[in-house]
């Protein structure tokens, strides 16, 4: 049995709103901790791991509503929380989930018949079960100064890139030139900005890429 301890901000059930699995009922496991520093991040409450924010595990089995908190949990404890819900798709996100060794958690979830999806910035090594799906949202030239790893790009099943302007697409092109990938590519407008959305639509049509429109924000669910 693994002795990996995960710091968990929240566990809840909803509809996946982004990427290839858009519309799929999912249990989200949101882990605490990230030093990438994306300025548009909508989960900044998960960045810091401070001792004063620790709480009991039974307090994170519900949406945190942007509360900066975390509870310690083993893979087996997280599986017990997940099994309370109906969904068979589990999204492990953050924060930056690849701060942690995700092998024990993704392996045990897969063994229990769950499809695992890990959402990562690609700036940390990806330690997961080979059956898990990797959604890599490459964070390029962020405040934290971390680079997207070539190994992470090779492991990605899906590259979901946030776009606010043409320079963001140019940065993705440069990354793909450095790290060719067979992953599906989706562009995601930042914060539903109309100009960014139109740019993503135009580029997706021209390149036969996908559009990730953050469905959950349009329909008003977590």
Binding residues for Mg(2+): 43
Q: What three-state secondary structure class fits 94?
A: coil
Please give the domain boundaries of the chain with CATH numbers for all domains: 6-161 (3.20.20.70)
Asked whether the beta carbons of 146 and 173 are under 8 A apart, the reply is no
pTM score, whole prediction: 0.94
The mean of the pLDDT values for the chain is 94
CA distances to 20, 159, 206 from 209, rounded to whole Å, are 11, 10, 8
- Supply the pLDDT for residue 18: 92
Pick the more confident residue, 217 or 109. 109
Report yes or no: 184 and 159 within 8 Å, Cβ to Cβ: yes
Over pLDDT 90: what percentage of the chain?
Answer: 85
The number of angstroms, rounded, from the C-alpha of 68 to the middle of its chain's C-alpha atoms is 18
DSSP code, position 157? S
How many residues comprise the chain?
A: 222
Which residue ranges are tagged as binding site?
15-17, 30, 34, 38, 40-43, 93, 95, 137-139
| Residues of the binding site for substrate | 15-17, 30, 93
Give the tens place of pLDDT for each residue, 85-106.
Answer: 999 999 999 999 999 999 999 9
Q: Please report, in range form, the residues annotated as the binding site for S-adenosyl-L-methionine.
A: 40-42, 95, 137-139
Residues comprising the binding site for [4Fe-4S] cluster? Answer: 34, 38, 41
């Amino acid at each position: 049995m693994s002795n990996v301890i995960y710091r968990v901000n929240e566990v809840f059930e909803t509809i996946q709103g982004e990427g290839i699995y858009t519309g799929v009922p999912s249990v989200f496991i949101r882990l605490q901790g990230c030093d990438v520093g994306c300025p548009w991040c909508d989960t900044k409450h998960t960045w810091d791991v401070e001792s004063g924010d620790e709480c009991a595990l039974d307090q994170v089995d519900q949406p945190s509503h942007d509360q900066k908190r975390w509870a310690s949990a083993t893979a087996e404890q997280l599986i017990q929380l997940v099994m309370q819900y109906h969904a068979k798709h589990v999204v492990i996100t953050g924060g930056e989930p690849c701060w942690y060794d995700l092998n024990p958690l993704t392996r045990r979830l897969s063994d229990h018949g769950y499809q695992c999806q890990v959402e990562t910035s690609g700036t940390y090594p990806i330690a997961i079960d080979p059956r898990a799906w990797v959604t890599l949202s490459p964070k390029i030239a962020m405040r934290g100064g971390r680079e997207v790893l070539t190994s992470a790009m090779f492991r990605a099943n899906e590259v979901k890139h946030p776009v606010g302007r043409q320079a963001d697409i140019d940065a993705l092109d440069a990354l793909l030139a450095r790290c060719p990938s067979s992953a599906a590519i989706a562009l995601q407008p930042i914060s539903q900005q109309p100009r960014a959305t139109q740019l993503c639509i135009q580029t997706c049509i021209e390149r036969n890429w996908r559009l990730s429109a953050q469905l959950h924000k349009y329909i008003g669910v977590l």
